[in-house]
Amino acid sequence: DPTTLRFRRVNARLGAILGYTAAELMRLAPIEDLTHPDDRAATRDAFQGLGSGETPEVQLVKRCLRQDGRPLWVSLVATAVRDASGQLVGILAAVEDVDARKRAEADLLLHRSALNAAANAVLVSDARSRILAVNPSFVKITGFSAADVIGKRPKLLSSGRHDPDFYRNMWVKIKET
């Protein structure tokens, strides 16, 4: 409902995502009450933009609150439904659970931050021994820029001071981890 922001209809999938039955969702307070407190203002502003005609569609990635109180990241796409005279008569929304993706992104950001802050040189290579990434310490310690080494094999780092067994043993250990 564009005035009260209460559900008029919901499907069972939304209930499953949020931990409610569809019937329970229909009896709940406004949509805002299902939104994480930190995301309520942005949600309210987005829906007001729909209601005023300022924006024809809303796309948000926000946190909802599940029935058990846990936050859940969702992607919401909503559009205004208007009658023949242009009067707002409803809001149609699709909600997708993106919680796993958002948590994975947060983990990647944490790992990237840790690697970038590491004092030791770190390089990441693929199964074909091509360098995929290096951290800032690698650049500082080796003198190679990331552009110099990305896509190349770590062999370019060989000093020539070690015998071939040293490098073979090093690659055995690297592949074990």
80-136 pLDDT tens trace: 999 999 888 999 999 999 999 998 898 888 888 888 888 888 888 888 889 998 998
The answer, as to whether pTM is greater than 0.75, is no
131-175 pLDDT tens trace: 998 998 888 888 889 999 999 988 777 777 778 887 778 777 766
Stretch (H or E) spanning 142 = helix 136-142
Q: What pLDDT, on a 0 to 100 scale, did the predictor assign at position 177?
A: 56
- For residue 144, CA distances in Å to 43, 78, 82 come to 47, 49, 60
